[in-house]
């Protein structure tokens, strides 16, 4: 399996960044200058589904994201949420939407499913309501994964501690838009030698992961059980759930994990490493995959 991690796959054009005039204070002095910031815009995912004679369009989700790789983001979201299982279920993915002046924005992504794909939209709505509810406890969240058929990840490949500690710096070096703005998260796939195979950036950690997995899904490269996932920032239950859906056995985070992320890792046989840097790291679960 091969991925293309080249910068050409990572857009750094005006659609991803924007210049703002600011007052910069340093050492008690004020200077006017321009500052380049990352763009954040909403993206709506709509589903077109049903038999040919009864096609329906429904809004499924709205997320704040950095424009670029929107097809990957939509596909990755639908895959990691268990809505799609194969790219063959997709008939087309189209960018739509206009601004107040009627100019195209591309901020609405319509995913047309093949007529034979069955979708229980009422069930989907209940799923997303429950997933976003603050009243859902950790036990219920883990039980929800069991109901969706989540299985323990059995892969046994290992990676050295030294290779793990190099990953944050390698991920940082592969972020062209972060270099311009300092305002983006990133997610990357790496092999057992700690070499990055693919990287995606976005203002949201979840979106960066969905873009990364969405590309692999559309390229028919699932499962990703021979690769690990490295992310900037902290790692939450949602990130771990997406990794489990893609069958990624090792997750490396620059920041802290949440308690539920560690519980999920322990229950499903995942390796979870947090607070990773060139000098330190904490292994929270699955230490058998980390070698000297």
Percent with pLDDT over 90 in the chain: 51
Cα–Cα distance for residue pair 210/65, rounded to 1 Å:
11
For the question of residue 134 being annotated catalytic, the response is: yes
Regarding pTM above 0.75, the answer is yes
Q: What is the pLDDT of residue 162?
A: 95
pLDDT averaged over every residue in the chain: 84
pLDDT at position 85: 92
Confidence of residue 124 (pLDDT cuts 50, 70, 90): low
Q: Which CATH class is domain 159-291?
A: alpha beta
Neighbours of 184 (CB within 10 A): 23
Q: What is the pLDDT of residue 34?
A: 85
The region of weakest confidence among 50-54, 109-113, 136-140, 221-225 is 136-140
Q: What's residue 136's pLDDT? A: 52
Mean pLDDT of all residues in 111-122 = 86
Report angle CA 88, 229, 210 to the nearest 5 degrees. Answer: 40
pLDDT recorded at residue 164 = 96
Summarised one tens digit per residue, pLDDT across range 221-230 is 999 999 999 9
Residue-level pLDDT at 167 = 96
Residue 123: band (very low, low, confident or very high) from pLDDT cuts 50, 70, 90: low
Contact 44, 109 (CB under 8 A): yes
Residue 118 has pLDDT above 50, yes or no: yes
State the average pLDDT over residues 242-258. Answer: 95
Given this model, what pLDDT does residue 98 score? Answer: 64
Res. 115: pLDDT tops 60: yes
| CATH code of the domain made up of 41-147 | 3.10.20.10
Return the higher-pLDDT residue of 55 and 180: 55
Mean pLDDT of 32-39: 84
How much is the pLDDT for 170?
A: 94
**In whole angstroms, what separates CA 67 from the centre of its chain?**
14
Residue 198's pLDDT is what? 94
pLDDT above 50: residue 7: no
Q: What is the pLDDT of residue 6?
A: 36
Q: Taking residues 248-271, report their average pLDDT.
A: 93
| pLDDT tens readout for residues 139-192 | 666 777 776 778 999 988 999 999 999 999 999 988 877 777 777 889 999 999
CB atoms within 10 A of CB 256: 14
Task: Name the segment(s) of the chain with CATH classification 3.10.20.10.
Answer: 41-147
* pLDDT tens profile 186-217: 999 999 999 999 999 998 889 999 999 999 99
The segment(s) of the chain belonging to CATH 3.40.140.10 are 159-291
| Confidence band of 22 (pLDDT split at 50, 70, 90) | confident
Catalytic option among 134, 137, 147, 193? 134
More confident residue, 14 or 225: 225
Q: Which residue has the higher pLDDT, 2 or 256?
A: 256
């Amino acid at each position: 399996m091969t991925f293309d991690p080249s910068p050409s796959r990572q857009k750094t054009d005006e659609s991803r960044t924007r210049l703002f005039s600011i007052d910069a204070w340093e050492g008690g002095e004020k200077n006017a200058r321009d500052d380049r910031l990352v763009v954040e815009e909403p993206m709506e995912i709509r589903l077109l589904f049903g038999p040919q004679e009864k096609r329906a369009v429904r809004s499924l989700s709205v997320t704040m994201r950095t424009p670029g790789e929107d097809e990957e983001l939509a596909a990755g979201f639908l895959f990691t949420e268990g809505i799609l299982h194969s790219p063959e279920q997709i008939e087309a993915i189209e960018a739509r939407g206009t601004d107040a002046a009627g100019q195209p924005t591309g901020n609405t992504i319509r995913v047309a499913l093949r007529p034979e794909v069955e979708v229980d939209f009422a069930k989907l709505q209940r799923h997303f309501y429950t997933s976003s509810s603050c009243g859902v406890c950790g036990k219920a969240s883990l039980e929800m994964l069991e109901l969706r058929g989540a299985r323990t990840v059995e892969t046994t490949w290992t990676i050295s501690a030294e290779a793990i500690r190099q990953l944050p710096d390698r991920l940082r070096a592969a972020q062209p838009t972060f270099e311009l703005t300092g305002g983006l998260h990133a997610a990357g796939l790496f092999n057992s030698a700690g070499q990055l195979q693919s990287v995606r950036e976005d203002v949201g950690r979840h979106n960066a992961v969905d873009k990364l997995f969405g590309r692999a899904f559309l390229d028919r490269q699932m499962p990703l059980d021979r690769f690990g996932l490295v992310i900037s920032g902290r790692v939450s239950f949602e990130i771990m759930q997406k990794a489990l859906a893609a069958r990624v056995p090792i997750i490396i985070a620059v920041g802290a994990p949440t308690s539920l992320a560690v519980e999920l890792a322990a229950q499903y046989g995942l390796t979870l490493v947090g607070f990773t840097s060139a000098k330190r790291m904490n292994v929270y679960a699955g230490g058998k995959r980390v070698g000297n």
